[in-house]
Amino acid sequence: MSGTKALRGRAQAPHSTSSDETPAKVRRHLTHLSRVMNTTEATRLFIALLYLSRAPRAVSDPGVPTWSWLLGQLAGGGREIRSAVITCLAHRLPAIEDSAAEAGAASLVPIPPPGSEGPLLGLIRAIGSTQRVGPLLDQCLRDLSSAQADGSNYFTPEDMARLMVGAAVPHDGHRVLDPACGSGGLLVESHRYVRERVGLNPTMSLRGRELHAPTSQVARMNLSVRGIKADILPPGDSLARPEPEPYDIVLANPSLNQRAWTQEEGTEQHGSRPGPPVPADPRWPEEAPPRSSADSAWIQHIAHALAPAGRAVFLMADRVTASRQTMPKRLRERLVRDDLVECVIALPRRVYGHSQAPACLWVINKDKSARLGWGSLDRREQVLFISARRAFETVPQSRARRLGDKNTALILSTLAAWRGLPGHGAAATPYSDTVGWSRSCSAREIADRGYSLMPTSYAVEAPGPERNTYNRIEQLKLELSEQFDRMRALELQLRDVLEEI
Query: Can you tell me the distance from the alpha carbon of 413 to that of 404, in angstroms, rounded to the nearest whole number?
Result: 14
| pLDDT at residue 241, as a whole number | 93
Reported pTM = 0.84
Read off the pLDDT of residues 106-133 as tens digits, 9 standing for 90 and up.
567 788 999 999 999 999 999 988 888 8
- Hey, CA dihedral for 145, 149, 152, 158, is it positive or negative? positive
pLDDT higher for 276 or 348?
A: 348
What's the confidence (pLDDT) of residue 389?
Answer: 93
Residue 6 pLDDT > 80: no
Q: Look at residue 270 in the predicted model and tell me its pLDDT.
A: 38
pLDDT at 355: 66
> Looking at per-residue confidence, does 154 or 27 come out higher?
27
Going along the chain from its start, the domains and CATH numbers come out as: 3-147 (no CATH), 149-486 (3.40.50.150)
pLDDT in tens, 294-332: 899 999 999 999 999 999 999 998 989 988 888 889 999
pLDDT of residue 402 exceeding 80, the answer is yes
3-state secondary structure of 106: helix
Which neighbouring-strand residues pair with 364? Answer: 312, 341
How large is the angle between the packed helices 134-147 and 39-54, nearest 10 degrees? 160
490 to 267, 290, 432, 494: CA distances (angstroms): 19, 12, 45, 6
Cα–Cα distance between 267 and 277 in angstroms, integer? 7
In the chain, % of residues over pLDDT 90: 49
Q: How far is CA 305 from the centre of its chain?
A: 17
Contact 136, 332 (CB under 8 A): no
pLDDT at 423: 63
Distance CA 286, CA 430 (A): 39
Per-residue b/e over 276-299, b at no fewer than 16 CB within 10 Å?
Answer: eeeeebebbeeebbbbbbbbbbbb
- Which range is least confidently modeled, 6-10, 67-71, 399-403? 6-10
Pairing type for strands 205-208 and 341-346 reads unpaired
Strand order in the sheet with 175-178: 231-232, 205-208, 175-178, 247-252, 306-317, 359-365, 341-346, 382-387, 438-442
